[in-house]
Structure 1
Amino acid sequence: MNFLAIDASTEACSVAIKYLEQQFSEYELCPQSHSLRLLPMVDSVLKQANCKLTELDGIIFGQGPGSFTGVRIGIGVTQGLAFSAQLNARGVSTLQAMAQQAYDEKGQDKVIAAIDARMSEVYTCYFEVDEQGIMQAKTEETVLKPELVAQYYSHLSLPAYGVGTGWNAYSALTELKSNNDSPEILFPTAQAMLTIGQVDFVEHSVAAEHAQPKYVRDTVSWKKLPGRE
């Protein structure tokens, strides 16, 4: 099956395509420019694959957690493309995608993902690889104060390989990761989402209008400012 994958949930903007057993991808760190870069990147990978959108079997998108604005931009583009080509869509977790990168690129089969969620919090989840080579969540994705993360994972045998921006942002997390240096994998890629999302796509995909974000934090940031709780 042939798929397009799109992600704009973090500072990175990423697009990948699998068409006739070939893969092409575009990746760019472009904070604040996702709305300008995403469609040109989609157009680029379609041209590289010599493929039309209508020749695909579905679209895979980054559903978060991450930037509220970025997630919504990615889903908006996904919905527009999916509507136009009458394709279904499937969301993939930002955290799971980074864990998948750690397995695919580093051979790490136990991974903790931690993204800086701002407001002195992190989005985090623990993953282990399954028999299909796909990283699966073994805890709930959650948002926590950094000093509470060790307690959240107290039932696990740690440390594990760390990915994401949270490790550099909050020293309270350091002892939970096995890699001594700064994580090499900071942001998700659409290629990793492609790997995850194409497995059982038909069973897990939805019509374009039902493509939804997964914010984890369900309270918009401004509501937590002083006097606005």
Structure 2
Amino acid sequence: MSAKILAVDTATENCSVALMVGEQVFARSEVAPRDHTKKILPMVDEVLKEAGMTLNELDAIAFGQGPGSFTGVRIGIGIAQGLAFGAELPMVGISTLAAMAQGCYRKQGDTHVASAIDARMSEVYWGRYSREQDGSWAAFDAECVIAPSDLVEQVQRDEQTWSKVGTGWEAYAEHMDTIDLNSKESDVLFPEAQDIAFLAQFAFAEGKVVEAEQSAPVYLRDKVAWKKLPGRE
């Protein structure tokens, strides 16, 4: 983990910024659903000052690409693009669902995570992830937006115990609690920029970066079908 990466995320109610430099992480985070535009840039300034760095010394800007609030995702990408344009840096988009999986491992050491964000309209953004030996995460299901009642019908129990993260579990508990999974609780409700920065290290090392003008959100509203990925039976 050697790249110097600044990460920003406003895709959910949580607003967060993190700067990863080697093994050091400088982070700020606050649940502030209506104040993302007011808080995000001051957070950026704070972590840069704490680390004694400028934007021009960084290798990349990472951002929570979604899924999440449409407005929140757009705010995060817009801020990240402005920073990247100004410093002529590449960008790395990271799934908010996968970031919560990393957050669950960071906090609890769990290696199999089921992420569900409240997508409104009686749906959740859904994805499951398993941690690889190198610290990266492999998707078990294709990320999607889906009605909890449909998840109940489609998800089948396996030998793993899945940690539940995200707001979707509580928002639709009537259905979500009946999904046929070996599961356990966690205290992870939102993605954090420090976990986005961590995952961005893998993407950066693999050359999975884009120019600022090419960065794009992932809303998932055009992907409504749940699907288990090949080889993940």
| 1:178 alignment partner, one of 176, 183, 189 | 183
Q: 2:41 — aligned with what?
A: 39
The SS at the match of 2:217 is coil
Q: CA deviation at 1:23?
A: 1.5
In structure 2, give the amino acid aligned to 1:133: G
User: Is it true that 1:205 corresponds to 2:226 in the alignment?
Assistant: no
CA RMSD of superposed structures (Å): 1.6
- Give the TM-score normalised by the residue count of structure 2: 0.88
Post-superposition Cα deviations, 1:51-96, rounded to whole Å, max 9, x if no partner, equal 0000000011000000000000000001000000000000000000
Alpha-carbon spacing, 1:103–1:20, altered in 2? closer, same or farther (3 Å): closer
In structure 2, give the amino acid aligned to 1:212: A
Alpha-carbon spacing, 1:166–1:158, altered in 2? closer, same or farther (3 Å): farther
The percent of aligned pairs where both chains have the same amino acid is 47
| 1:106 alignment partner, one of 105, 108, 114 | 108
| 1:82 alignment partner, one of 81, 84, 96 | 84
Q: 1:66 — aligned with what?
A: 68
Post-superposition Cα deviations, 1:87-133, rounded to whole Å, max 9, x if no partner, equal 00000000000011112221111110001101110000111011211
User: Is it true that 1:161 corresponds to 2:166 in the alignment?
Assistant: no
Inter-partner Cα distance in structure 2 for 1:207 and 1:126:
29
Alpha-carbon spacing, 1:103–1:57, altered in 2? closer, same or farther (3 Å): same
Q: CA deviation at 1:154?
A: 2.3
- Give the TM-score normalised by the residue count of structure 1: 0.90
Q: CA deviation at 1:200?
A: 3.7
In structure 2, give the amino acid aligned to 1:44: E
Inter-partner Cα distance in structure 2 for 1:41 and 1:218:
33
Alpha-carbon spacing, 1:144–1:83, altered in 2? closer, same or farther (3 Å): same
Q: CA deviation at 1:193?
A: 0.6
Inter-partner Cα distance in structure 2 for 1:151 and 1:102:
26
In structure 2, give the amino acid aligned to 1:209: E
Q: 1:223 — aligned with what?
A: none
The SS at the match of 2:202 is coil
Q: Which runs of 5+ in 2 are unaligned?
A: 224-233
Inter-partner Cα distance in structure 2 for 1:78 and 1:71:
11
**Does the 8 A contact of 1:19 with 1:51 survive in 2?**
no
Inter-partner Cα distance in structure 2 for 1:70 and 1:16:
17
User: Is it true that 1:125 corresponds to 2:119 in the alignment?
Assistant: no
Q: CA deviation at 1:157?
A: 4.3
**Does the 8 A contact of 1:87 with 1:207 survive in 2?**
yes
Structure 1 runs, 4 residues or longer, greater than 3 Å off: 155-159
Inter-partner Cα distance in structure 2 for 1:150 and 1:128:
20
In structure 1, give the amino acid aligned to 2:194: Q
